[in-house]
């Protein structure tokens, strides 16, 4: 069962949008869940990159071959997901805890 490149890009982009809002913690408990979300982003990005790299089209042989870029949408979406996860991890690690009054 394989997905098309546009489907992989759509799945990766949707995952990024869903997790982007909740990956920054403000206290110890929220940071734990933020780290879990950031880890999912990094793993999802790595998976999208791996799927794109391993599902290359056969090279065109002949005189009338159109140019095909080695960079595809799934690769870009995977890099964005992984970068967002790494940024979230670094942001949470350097952010001080906020003391709430409950």
Q: 73-94 and 28-54 helices cross at what angle (nearest 10)? A: 160
pLDDT tens per residue across all 102 residues of the chain: 456 667 767 777 776 666 655 556 677 777 888 888 888 889 989 998 998 888 877 888 888 888 878 888 888 888 988 998 898 888 888 877 777 666
The tokens for 70 are 């080695």
The tokens for 13 are 């982009």
Q: How far apart are CA 102 and CA 98, in angstroms?
A: 12
């Amino acid at each position: 069962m394989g997905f098309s490149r546009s489907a992989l890009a759509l799945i990766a982009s949707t995952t990024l949008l869903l997790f982007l809002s909740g990956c920054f913690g403000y206290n110890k408990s929220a940071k734990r869940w933020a780290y879990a979300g950031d880890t999912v982003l990094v793993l999802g990005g790595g998976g999208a990159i791996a799927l794109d790299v391993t599902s290359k089209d056969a090279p065109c042989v002949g005189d009338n071959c159109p140019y095909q870029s080695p960079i595809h949408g799934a690769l870009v979406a995977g890099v964005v997901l992984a970068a967002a996860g790494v940024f979230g991890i670094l942001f949470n690690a350097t952010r001080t805890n906020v003391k709430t009054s409950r």
